[in-house]
Amino acid sequence: DTAVSQTPKYLVTQMGNDKSIKCEQNLGHDTMYWYKQDSKKFLKIMFSYNNKELIINETVPNRFSPKSPDKAHLNLHINSLELGDSAVYFCASSHPLGAETYNEQFFGPGTRLTVL
């Protein structure tokens, strides 16, 4: 019955490696997001997809590449990992924001990425 799921929950890897984080939602939402939360708990949008189409791409290094194979999935691939990439990455989904009855974003449990 999990609404938004992410795998893996923890990821420890060496600098320079390539890794992926997977996200799936079973809520029937059209919009999915990736957020990065740093050690100071600042939560920042990275990407947003609406119905498999990229609609937000914040100032994120192009080592980060999202992929949405269908509207229930949004994966995040990271190339050439750096120490500064260590953070918690949250996937989220919602109905398109701005709709008067729905504003709630549902977050996955997060993936704690540690780059050594």
Partner 1 sequence: GQSLEQPSEVTAVEGAIVQINCTYQTSGFYGLSWYQQHDGGAPTFLSYNALDGLEETGRFSSFLSRSDSYGYLLLQELQMKDSASYFCAACIRTGRRALTFGSGTRLQVQP
Which tokens is 67 given? 């992929």
- On whether the CB atoms of residues 83 and 115 are closer than 8 A, the answer is yes
Query: Nearest approach, Cβ of 16 to partner 1 (angstroms)?
Result: 28
In the complex with partner 1, which residue's Cβ is closer, 18 or 38? 38
In the complex with partner 1, which residue's Cβ is closer, 53 or 82? 53
Contacts of residue 90, defined as CB under 8 A and 6 or more positions apart, other chains included, come to: 6, 34, 35, 36, 37, 43, 107, 108, 110, 111
Where do contacts with partner 1 occur on this chain (CB under 8 A)? 31, 33, 40-45, 48, 50, 55-56, 90, 96-98, 100, 103-110
In the complex with partner 1, which residue's Cβ is closer, 14 or 41? 41
